[in-house]
Amino acid sequence: MSASESERGERAGAFIHAMLLTVDPGRAETLVQSLEGTARDTLSRIRGFRTISVLLSDDRSRIVVLSEWAELHDWARAEWHEKIQDLIVDLHSSSLHVDSHSYALRFRLEASA
**DSSP states of 14-51:** -EEEEEEEEE-GGGHHHHHHHHHHHHHHTGGGSTTEEE
Alpha carbon 96 to its chain's center: 19
Is residue 50 within 8 Å of 43, Cβ to Cβ? no
Q: What is the pTM of this model?
A: 0.84
Q: Using alpha carbons, select from 100, 94, 97 the residue that is nearest to residue 75.
A: 100
Instruction: Show me where the domains of the chain are located.
Output: 13-104
pLDDT tens-place values along the chain, 113 residues long: 344 433 443 555 689 999 999 999 999 999 999 999 999 999 988 999 999 999 999 999 999 999 999 999 999 999 888 999 999 999 999 999 999 999 998 888 889 87
13-104 belongs to CATH 3.40.30.10: no
